[in-house]
Amino acid sequence: MEAKIRKQKFLEKQINLGIKLVIDSDKLRYHIRPSDIKIKSGGMIGKFGKAELECSAALLVKFFQAKGKWTGFNISELKLFYETKIQKNIEETFEEAIFGLFSWWFDDAMHGQWREPLPCVVQDTDGIFYITEYFITRCIQ
């Protein structure tokens, strides 16, 4: 029961911050499906304004396309997906693959500065991550 209350408070906080989480359930499905988002060979060029962020976004979209729905996930699930399905013939590490969407990141362009992550992925009190409507909107543009 306590976990349910924590989850409810977490969801209420996100609503108060203006962040809309996207979670498919048996009864409700978000109108934009993971399969609706097309990923070009270069990733998601121009969608997030920084190549590293666009690579991270492409990884997340591929993850949800493989699942067939928008759902909560933990970092271990994403890492396993990356290591078994994506990393073949790629030299980047998993940490580079999730660059900028999950935490603060250093933008080394021009003057170099720390950047706050875009409101694309939100973590709840139980360590489960959720995609936001903002993320999906940026990807589908």
pLDDT of residue 82: 85
- What's the pLDDT score for residue 56? 83
Kindly report the backbone phi and psi dihedral angles of residue 118, in degrees, each rounded to the nearest multiple of 5, phi listed first: -70, 155
- Residue 37 has a pLDDT of 93
pLDDT recorded at residue 91? 58
DSSP codes joined into one string, 18-85: T--EE---SS---SS-GGGS--BTTBSTTSSSSHHHHHHHHHHHHHHHHHTS---B-HHHHHHHIIII
Cα separation of 43 and 31, whole Å? 23
Is 39 in contact with 61 (CB distance < 8 Å)? yes
SS3 114: strand
pLDDT tens digits in sequence order for the chain, 141 residues long: 676 677 667 666 666 666 677 777 777 788 899 999 998 776 677 787 777 778 888 888 989 999 999 999 998 998 888 888 766 655 567 776 677 676 666 666 666 676 666 678 888 888 888 888 988 998 988
Sign, CA dihedral 120-123-128-133, equals negative
**Residue-range domain boundaries for the chain:** 2-140
